[in-house]
Amino acid sequence: MSARERDLPFRELVEALEKLDATTSGNEMVAILADLFRRTPPDVIPVVSYFVQGNLAAEYEDVNLQIGERLMAEAIARASGRSREEVQRRYDEKGDYGLVAEAVLEGQAGSGSGDALTVRSVHEKLLEIARQAGTGSQEAKLNLLADLLQKATPREARYIVRIALGTLRLGAGTMTLLNALAVAFTGEKKNKAQLEKAYNLCGDVGLVAQKVAEKGLEGLQEIKIQVGHPIKMMAAQRVQTLHEIFEKMPHGFAVEWKYDGERVQCHKRGEDVLIFSRNLENITHQYPDVVEAIRQDVAAEEAIVEGEVVALVPGTDDQFQPFQILMSRRRKYDIERYVQEIPVKLFLFDVLYVDGESAMEKPYPERRALLERIVTPSGRVDLTARLESSDPEEIEGFFDEAVERGLEGILAKSCAPDSIYRAGAREWSWIKWKRDYSEELADTFDVVAVGGFAGRGKRSGTWGALLCAVYNPDKDRFETLCKVSTGFSDEELARLPERFKPYETEHRPARVISKLEPTRWFEPVAVLEISGAELTRSPIHTCGSEGEDEPGIALRFPRFLRFRDDKSAEEATTVAEVKQLFEKARSGPGNGTPPPASNVSKRLYSSSSKTKGQR
């Protein structure tokens, strides 16, 4: 096979990107991508998958060009022979450096000259830019980028700039790509489920794309759990009463404290430790103290464990600070100072892999026992407090103690023989429970901002309200639930334009289903946690609606609580969850009572030797 047969002309990718840019139809987006994948050689299909999402590598790989707008403006000026002032003036008019590059290179002598660019050659050049570091690296990046733009046609330059700046904003999520791959290489969208299962094991849509392109569905069997490749985390369902947990888990369960921290997945191989967030982001650099704790306190050569990093009150090892305080650790600089100012503790609750053997197929009680064998509790690492009981009063007492400690509530985990770890799944083997202390809804919602309404009066110059949606995984789309305008501090309001500017787009994103027209659309990226008073039928929102004339479900009196930068849009509250809560509210509280305590052993597990009273 010739080198050209193993590559794809970059102009063909650009043609597909232009079509994706123009469509507002999710089905059309899948069709465009499926056609592109069929024409892409398997060797280069991983790169095409990354490029479509505006990335250079798998989500968990820390590949960053570190090219800001100032550097990009200079590179465009050098490539085009125009002045920095002219480039800046055009940017002020267009608000998009990709369009600026296309405009100033149009008709430029030498633009797009030489050999035509290929997907592989563009990717290699961008990786070379990313590798530049140390003295003189900025000048080297400028020269490499300017050279690449000179070789590109104006249309190609538009997308190279957007990829380099991270502003591609096509709205093609991972599930969209998996749908398109299923159509392209298996002929049926329903096979997406098998691709998704493989993706959940490796966190690399490019690898899944290459395997299915080369060998069809059989190729997916070659994707195995690996240290260093994050596994999509299992999620919990929600209920509003303790009685419902007994109903959903008739074969017994244990409850654990639900900590108000950042969920992490820690991968250990010898002295090497990687830490991933729930949206597969590599956040190892944020937690050097957790890295050291995993090295010292997890007794395995290789392991993958999951837990919650919680901020501590300085000088204590059992007094917790809220999630917002912990998020102050999300920074590139001054890490060591913040390690001292905001100490943390890791509470582990699951193990997925130990020394060459996957633990994911083991029932939950066996995984917990394995975790207890390999973890040595210390001031830096502990196991989640745990109670196994069938006594509702004892469980409520365990819950009350969690709330007194400032924690969110409890998480019930099935102890049935089929209580395996299901990567990426949200099933009834894990159930979270938070207490309702008011007339408002007991739980909160993680919603995705998909549009902004311009503020008026004292909110002039910022977004007065955010149009928010929940995720429908079955249809891979976002359906609107509410407009959020309250709960923001003055500082948060002032920063909204800056926060959402990278996601602004001129037309409705293809995966967003809305009857409302905001001032500006946002690509579905940013996740907010909100509360509300009640769920009600609504003619203007689309959550749960099956047709244009059918009303959806809306959240009344929504109130902003915090941004969830640790979650991806696809990890937001689902339409099914909202519908379940709505139906539960309509039918009223259950009339049954929890079953009486039986002779089942009641055991309180703390990871240390402390008793319940000492915790």
Q: Report whether 474 contacts 523 (CB < 8 A).
A: no
Residue 35 and residue 596: Cα distance in Å, rounded?
Answer: 59
Phi, psi dihedral angles at 229 (to 5 degrees): -110, 110
Q: Report whether 531 contacts 50 (CB < 8 A).
A: no
Phi, psi dihedral angles at 91 (to 5 degrees): -65, -40
Residue 214 and residue 195: Cα distance in Å, rounded?
Answer: 14
User: Which residue type sits at 409?
Assistant: G
Residue 480 and residue 512: Cα distance in Å, rounded?
Answer: 8
What residues have CB less than 8 Å from 243, skipping those under 6 apart? 590, 592, 593, 594
Token pair, residue 163, equals 């990829």
Residue 204 and residue 206: Cα distance in Å, rounded?
Answer: 5
Residue 6 and residue 309: Cα distance in Å, rounded?
Answer: 44
What residues have CB less than 8 Å from 602, skipping those under 6 apart? 387, 388, 389, 390, 391, 394
Residue 241 and residue 304: Cα distance in Å, rounded?
Answer: 33
Q: Report whether 318 contacts 378 (CB < 8 A).
A: no
Measuring CA to CA, how many Å separate 470 from each of 248, 358, 514, 528, 578? 24, 33, 11, 11, 8
Is there a catalytic annotation at residue 258? yes
Helices (H), 106-190: 119-131, 137-151, 154-165, 174-186
Token pair, residue 307, equals 């837990």
Phi, psi dihedral angles at 265 (to 5 degrees): -120, 120
The residue from 141, 211, 258, 268 that is catalytic is 258
Residue with tokens 């992490």: 264
Catalytic residue IDs: 258
